[in-house]
Amino acid sequence: MKKVCVIGAGVMGSGIAQVCAQSGYETNVIDISDDILKRGLENIKKSLSKFVEKGKITKEMMDETVGRIKLSTSREEGAKDADLVIEAASEIIDIKKDIFSDLDKICPEHTILASNTSTIPISLLGSVTRRQDKVIGIHFMNPVPLMRGVEVIKSLVTSEDTLNISLKFVNSIGKESVVVKDSPGFISNRIMTIFVNEAVKLYEAGLSTIEDIDKMVRLSFNWPMGPFQLIDLIGVDIVHDMLESIYQETGWERYKPTPLLKRMKEVGWLGRKSNKGFYDYSE
C-alpha cells in the first residue's frame, strides 16, 4: 500500500491525512471547496508545528510530511489510483452513501473503501457498492495525531483479507486497533455518547453547574476533561448527530439526544469550532 485518499478536510479528515503522510504514505485529500482544503492544510501545519516545538519531529520531517499531501476538489482525480480511501465526511447517511457509490466507480478493483463513521453501519455503506467485501470501518479518535486507539469495523460481508490489510495499515501509522462487529456506535461511541448525554441531563435537571460536573468527573475518574469540555471539543452538532443516529437505528431511549443539545445545534453553539458551546471560547 502506497497511496491513501482521505475524503473530508475537517477536524477528523485533516488529522487522518496528517498521520498517513507522517507515516510515509502519499496522501490525497478531497473536499468540496478550495477554502475548506486550505483550512485543513493549515490545521495540519499547525499540528505538525507543535510536534516540532516539542522536539518530537524535526522541521525537515514536517516539510516532508506536508510535501506528501495533495489537495483536490475532484473525487475522480484524488481517488483514481488510491490503494485505500478513508471517508471522513459529515455523519449523514445520504452523503456517505453518495460518496461510496461514487468511489466504487472511480477506484481500481483492489482499492479498499473505509469509513471513519462513528455510528453508521458499515454494511449500509457497502450496500451501494459492487465490492462489499472491500468495505470496512476504520474509526479514529479525536484528536487523531494524539490518540492511539482505532476501531476497525468488519461488516458481515467484509473479507478477512480486507480486515488483515486494514489492521496492518493501522499498525503502520503507529496506532493500535480493536476489531469490532458492525453495530450502531460500535464500542467507543456507544459508551461516550451515553456518558455525555447523561451529563447534559444532569445539568438540565439543575443538579449542578457545567463547571462542577466537569470538575467532579475529572477529579473522580482522573480523566483529562469533563463531559462538557469533551462535547465542545468534538462539536455539539456531531455529538447530537451521533446520538440521533444510534437512537434511530436502535430505538433505545437512552440515546435520544437531550433537548438542550438539539437547541444548541440549531442556534450554532457548536463548541470550540464556533467559539461558543457549553463554554465561551471567544477570548
Which of 14, 151, 177, 244 is catalytic? The answer is 151
Is 240 an active-site residue?
no
Which of 14, 47, 115, 118 is catalytic? The answer is 118
Which of 14, 28, 139, 155 is catalytic? The answer is 139
Is 151 an active-site residue?
yes
Is 197 an active-site residue?
no
Cell of 103: 468511489
Q: Which of 111, 136, 133, 103 is nearest to 30 (CA)?
A: 103
Cell of 46: 499547525
CA distance 193 to 238: 10
Q: Which of 18, 9, 134 is nearest to 78 (CA)?
A: 9
Contact 134, 160 (CB under 8 A): no
Which of 189, 197, 240, 245 is catalytic? The answer is 189
Is 110 an active-site residue?
no
Burial of 5 per CB tally in 10 Å (0-12, 13-18, 19+):
buried
The verdict on whether omega for the bond into residue 184 sits within 30 degrees of 0, i.e. cis, is no
Query: Which one-letter amino acid corresponds to residue 283?
Result: E
Active site residues: 118, 139, 151, 189
